[in-house]
Each structure stands twice: as C-alpha cells, then as structure tokens.
Chain A
Amino acid sequence: MRPGRGRPAGLVSLAVLLGLAVATGLAVGPAWLSVGEVWDALLPGAQASPARAIVLSVRLPRVVAAALSGASLAVSGVLFQALLRNPLAEPYLLGVSSGAALGAVSVLVLGLTVGPAGLALAALAGALVAIVIVFRVASAAGYLDTRILILAGVVVASFFGAGVMLVMTFAEGRTTRSALLWTMGSFGNASWGMNLALAVYSLPAVLLAFGLSRHLNALALGEESAAFLGTEVETVKRVAYLLASLLAAAAVSVGGVIGFVGLVVPHAVRLLWGGDHRFLVPMSFLAGGALLALADAAARTVAAPLEVPVGVVTALVGVPFFLVLLRRSYAGGAG
C-alpha cells in the first residue's frame, strides 16, 4: 500500500473500528451477559437490573476511560515523535510516567485512605513535577534544546523510578499489589467523574495538536527548514512538548502506566497512511482509543474472574502485529 492513499477511507474505517471496540468492551466481561441483555441495559428507561448495573456502572465507565486514555497516549506519542524527530520517542520517555508512578505509589504505600480520584490527583501532581523540572532544564539556554530535553527527561525518569523502588521497599504485601497493579496499568477504578475530567483535559489538547499539524509537518523537515517555511519553531516546540506531556499525564493518572500504545500506534498509522500530521493526529486518536478499549476488554475477560494488567495485553497482542506491519512495509527495501 502506498502511504498517503485512501486516507479519508482510513479515517472512516478507524472510526468504525473504535465504535466496534467500544461495543465489544460493553458486550464482554467476567459476568456473561447475552448481547440482548446488554442491548436492553443500554436502552434509556430500561428497568433496573443486575445486568443494567453491570453494563452501565462497571463496563461503560471503563470502556470510555480506556478509549480516552488510549487516544490521549497515541496523540501524545505523535507529538513527541515529531518534536524529538526520534522514532523511539514515546509519552513516557521523558519522566511523565515515573513522576506519576511516584505520586501514586507514595499515596498507596503511605496507606492514605484516598479514593481513586485522590490517587489520580497524586499521580497527576507527580507527573507535573517531572514535566516542570525537565522543561526548565531543557529551556535553560533560552530556547528548547531537544537534545537536552531527551537527556534531562531520561535522567529525571531514572530519578523518579528510583524513588518508586525506594517507596516500594517499605511497602507491605497488599499495598505492593495495589502499587504493582498501578504500575502495570488498569482501568478498574474508572468513574464518570474521572472520565469527565479526562475528557475536559484531553479533548482540547488533541484539538490543539490537530491545529499544530501543519507546523508539525514543517518541523519534520528539521528546525531550520521549518523556520524557512514560516513556522515559529520555538513556540511550536514548547506547545508540542507541553501538550504531549499533559496528555500523557492525564492518561497515566487514570489508568496507570500503560506502555506500547503511545510508541506504536503513531508508527502503525504512519506506515499505513503516511506521515502527514493532519491525518496522523486524528487517525492516531481513533486507533489508540480502539486499541486500548479492546485491550481492556480482553484484560477483563481472558482470565476471569482475575484481571490481567491491560499494559500486558497491549504489548502481547500489539507487538507481533506491529512487527508484521514493519516487515511488510519495508520488505524489498522499499521505504
């Protein structure tokens, strides 16, 4: 397939895929409900029943949280890859996840009785601290130096990672389970309040990222070329960095650390439909949402009544798919 062709059709098919993923997420779970029961539960004005409670109060908030987080992570990955012009760039590269993990794990291990919302806030606070430190170090020269950004980000990530290990050393058995669950990702704590916060926070950021698409395309040619083409390189870089970090922070606060989505979804979309950010941003949004909604459905179901960490599912299923895609796209030396 030649990149660039069939992009509108691609957008539509990804939107359909997201819809199917959400439907699947609602239809499956450890309690086996028939499709009819699920459908009845979703109709407005249906009678209260255990099935309705399960579908509306357990599955729906989770599916929405997973889709929103996946979409945020994928867009964050697009921004980081454009900003750093590095194929290895992903939302967690620059310390967002370790900052968030330190915030969340500290709260868990200290045994503070906070609800899931408190946990999400602690994670967000940790992520923001990491973002601010990295940003300040990287802009010390008066402009945002992407080499320093990577270096500072990776170093800050190690620092917070060590903090997580230190805190875990003092944890007792059960809090370790909570902390471990958090560091491997789960949407078990999704609630409508949290989803609303995530949507209010992520959707505008995604729209802004979409608005930056033309400049991101210019940036892909190199900073000098982008400046020639009339892009305010410094502003674009700063905005892209902050948007990407905030999107990752929001996602990580809700679902914990879920790898793979932010790294691989943008690459997959690029391999299939090309690197034009006007399509890359919305397509990654849809594909990331679909992937994580499906992964969460699988995480809840495959080992029921146990739950598998959702990050494990994304990597185990996503990586082979991506490797096949990578091999096909570059087979025979064609770029």
Chain B
Amino acid sequence: MPTERSSREGCGGGRGSDTSVTLSRKGRVDCVTGTPVRVLGAAFFVVALTGRVLIPAGAPDADRHLPPLLPLPRLADGDTIVLTDDLDVRVTLQEPASRIVSLVPAATEILFAIGAGDRLVGRTRFDRHPQEVLAVPSVGDGVRPSVELIVALEPDLVILFAGPDSRRAADELRRIGVPVLAVRHNTLTDLYRNIGRLGQVTGSSGPSERLSATIREDLESVREATGRLLRRTVYYDAWWQPPITIGRGSYLDSLITLAGGRNVFGDLQRPSPQVSLEAIAAREPEIILYPVHRGVEGRAPVSERPGWHILEAVRSGRVRVFDGELVVRLGPQVAAAVRELARAIHPGFE
C-alpha cells in the first residue's frame, strides 16, 4: 500500500534511531526503526562492502538494536498473509508487500495488471511490459540472481522462479530475513494460481479475481471460435541451430491448441525439446509458426536455411510470421496471444 510506504519513509524519531544509524545512502536509509528488513539490507550492504560485520562505532550497546532474523509475528492482527509457494515453503507476511522485487517477468506484468505496479522496486533485464516497468531498476538476469543487488533495494518480498537456478538465492534471502515467493510459471494453471497469489500478497484479491475471470472468458470465446475451424498441424520454430520447438510441457502447446492448431511435437513431455530437421519432416506439419522477437535475434528466415525446403510447409509458403513478443510470455495478455496464434494458423480469423 503506497500510503504505508510513505509513512514509513518519514519514520520520525523512534526508539534507537540515534545510535545505530551508520549508513546513509542518498539520504534514504537514515533511520532504522520499523522495518527490520531495511536494517538488514543496510547491514548486508556494509558486510558486502567491507567483507565483515561492522559494529557501529559509538554504539556500545549495538546488540540491542539488531533486529530479529525474522519479523516477529504480530499477534492478534488478523490480516497476516500466509501461503505456500512452489518450493513448498510457507511464506508469511505481516502486511501486504509494498516493496517488491520481481524476478519473474510474467509476475511483474500481473502486478501492473492488478494495480500493484507502483510497489515494484526491482525487476530483471528481460522485463519490457508494460512500458512503465522500464523506470524500475533492473537487477540483471533473474536466474542465479545477485542477492546483494536485491537486498540493496530493501524489498519486503522477492518473487522468483522455483527452480534449481534460483534456489540458492531463495535460501540466502530467507536467511537474511527477506520473504521470498518462489513460483513455477509454465502452464495456464500456473498463471491462474500466480494471479491469485499476487493478489493475496499485495492485498488486491478483488482485482486479481477480476483479472482471472476476464482471462478465462476471453480464452473461452477464442476457443469457441477456433473450435469451428479445421485443426491444422503446426511446427513452432523457437530456435533453429539446433532446431528447438515446444513440447507438451510448455504453455505454448496449450495456447496452440486453443488457437485451433495441433503441435506436431505435442507428444514430447519437455517444454522446449531439441529436435532435428528430419524429425520435423517426418511429422509433416502443415504450417510453420515463426515468431518474430524484438531486439537481438540471430535466427535465419526459414526459407534461407539449408535443407529446410524439404518441408512441404516451406515449399508451399506456409511459414506464418507473427508477433512473438505477444506470445513468449504467459501473462495477462494471454488471450491476445492466442488470438495472434489463431490468426497465424487460420488466415482471416476474426
């Protein structure tokens, strides 16, 4: 809640604010009461800079001001938020998160869609949607993230992918006392679940339920429309050296189905299996879906690749170029993504 944040920033003369102030970064951390997380952030910063734990000079009784490792539960508050994340860890928040670092681009987008975008204080370098997100500082890749960079942003919630690459960071952040929400985000089910979770942690359950309902209705109407069309077999060209496509484990497989197509590698369990040209030819896709992405690309047009003309779809010019930017992320725009796919698979759709 923005009001909460501003009141905290003013923080006033509270207990202990005279002794343990050792660090002033751009005048922002000038008092340490109220949010243990912040003190820890500052402490971590000092440790990171000097390589050891500094006891502030002139604070003989500094121990008294060290915050507990985890925020003490506030009793009788009633609105403590408790949920279980996809690493099976129980996440407990005393109040709705107001300083969020999101390392999951889709979660970032959902936050904006449910009106909680102004609580975002950190993102990955891959976040591009919506436009406002570019004003938020980036902490880099998102996978194997830098704990130091994240803590410096003083978040009260970090959202990251539940996977082996971010497990260490998740453990470390929790140890420091920063709440972490680790999420899987691979399927439509994950999307709905994460919209619900983000509504919960930001105290915006109303908007998140409305968002889920809108997405459900949109998808249902596209499904109905494409259900009347002949289902086409498609090959999704995710990468070409080696050829990488999508399997059943990817949400794109379900989006293609909703869009009135059938993924020729839908029998493969992995989300992005590597295949071979000959295997593609053997499955005789009617259409090749060629998503175009912004920025550095490096993928040769299908018709210019040696050998690819053996595919009937290439010879007959059924390579369908479409806006990949809309499709590569599983976010609030998912219905628009399915429409884009449906137009690529069925020319003249809608």
Tell whether B244 is near chain A: CB-to-CB under 8 Å. yes
| Contact digits for A164-205, partner B, Cβ 8 Å, 1 yes 0 no | 000000001011011001000010111101000000000000
Within B239-265, the residues touching A (CB, 8 Å) are 239, 241-244, 265
Q: Is the CB of B239 within 8 A of A174?
A: yes
Tell whether A4 is near chain B: CB-to-CB under 8 Å. no
Q: In the complex where A113-B297, A174-B244, A175-B298 touch, is A305 in contact with B307 (Cβ < 8 A)? A: no
Q: Is the CB of B309 within 8 A of A57?
A: yes
| B298 partner residues in chain A, CB cutoff 8 A | 108, 110-113, 175
| Contact digits for B265-298, partner A, Cβ 8 Å, 1 yes 0 no | 1001000011111111110100000000000111
Tell whether A30 is near chain B: CB-to-CB under 8 Å. yes
**How far apart sit A157 and B277, CA to CA, in the bound complex (Å)?**
33
Q: Is the CB of B279 within 8 A of A177?
A: no
Tell whether A325 is near chain B: CB-to-CB under 8 Å. no
Which applies to chain B's interface (DSSP): helix, strand, loop or mixed? loop
Q: In the complex where A111-B296, A115-B306 touch, is A30 in contact with B278 (Cβ < 8 A)? A: yes
Tell whether A335 is near chain B: CB-to-CB under 8 Å. no
Within A191-240, the residues touching B (CB, 8 Å) are 191, 193
Q: In the complex where A58-B278, A300-B278, A304-B279 touch, is A113 in contact with B306 (Cβ < 8 A)? A: no
**How far apart sit A186 and B278, CA to CA, in the bound complex (Å)?**
14
Q: In the complex where A111-B298, A113-B300, A116-B306 touch, is A300 in contact with B276 (Cβ < 8 A)? A: yes
Q: Is the CB of A50 within 8 A of B284?
A: yes
Closest to A191 in B: B306
| A181 partner residues in chain B, CB cutoff 8 A | 241-242
A63: min CB distance to chain B, Å: 12
A53: min CB distance to chain B, Å: 4
Closest to A175 in B: B298
Q: In the complex where A188-B277, A191-B306, A191-B307 touch, is A115 in contact with B300 (Cβ < 8 A)? A: yes
Q: Is the CB of A177 within 8 A of B277?
A: no
Tell whether A99 is near chain B: CB-to-CB under 8 Å. no
Q: In the complex where A31-B281, A31-B282, A174-B239 touch, is A113 in contact with B299 (Cβ < 8 A)? A: yes
A177: min CB distance to chain B, Å: 7
Tell whether A148 is near chain B: CB-to-CB under 8 Å. no
**How far apart sit A189 and B308, CA to CA, in the bound complex (Å)?**
10
| B278 partner residues in chain A, CB cutoff 8 A | 29-31, 54, 58-59, 300
**How far apart sit A291 and B241, CA to CA, in the bound complex (Å)?**
24
Closest to B273 in A: A306
Name the contact of B242 in the complex, choosing from A58, A61, A307 (C-beta under 8 A): A307
**How far apart sit A58 and B265, CA to CA, in the bound complex (Å)?**
20
Q: Is the CB of A53 within 8 A of B281?
A: yes
| A189 partner residues in chain B, CB cutoff 8 A | 241, 306
B175: min CB distance to chain A, Å: 27
Q: Is the CB of A57 within 8 A of B241?
A: no
Q: Is the CB of B277 within 8 A of A306?
A: no
| B312 partner residues in chain A, CB cutoff 8 A | 50
**How far apart sit A189 and B243, CA to CA, in the bound complex (Å)?**
11
Closest to A108 in B: B298
| A53 partner residues in chain B, CB cutoff 8 A | 281, 310
Residue from A30, A116, A181 whose CB has the most chain B CB atoms within 10 Å: A30
Tell whether B201 is near chain A: CB-to-CB under 8 Å. no
Q: In the complex where A31-B282, A53-B310, A189-B306 touch, is A304 in contact with B297 (Cβ < 8 A)? A: no
| Contact digits for A104-118, partner B, Cβ 8 Å, 1 yes 0 no | 000010111111100
B309: min CB distance to chain A, Å: 7
Tell whether B238 is near chain A: CB-to-CB under 8 Å. yes
| Contact digits for A51-69, partner B, Cβ 8 Å, 1 yes 0 no | 0011001110100000000
Q: Which residues of A contact B (CB under 8 A)?
A: 29-32, 50, 53-54, 57-59, 61, 108, 110-116, 119, 172, 174-175, 177-178, 181, 186, 188-191, 193, 300, 304-307
Give 9 closest A-B pairs by Cβ, nearest first: A305-B279, A31-B282, A111-B298, A111-B296, A191-B306, A53-B310, A30-B279, A305-B275, A178-B241
17 further contact pairs, Cβ within 8 A, besides A188-B243, A305-B282? A30-B279, A31-B279, A50-B284, A54-B278, A111-B296, A114-B300, A116-B241, A116-B305, A174-B239, A174-B244, A188-B241, A188-B276, A190-B306, A191-B306, A191-B307, A305-B275, A305-B279
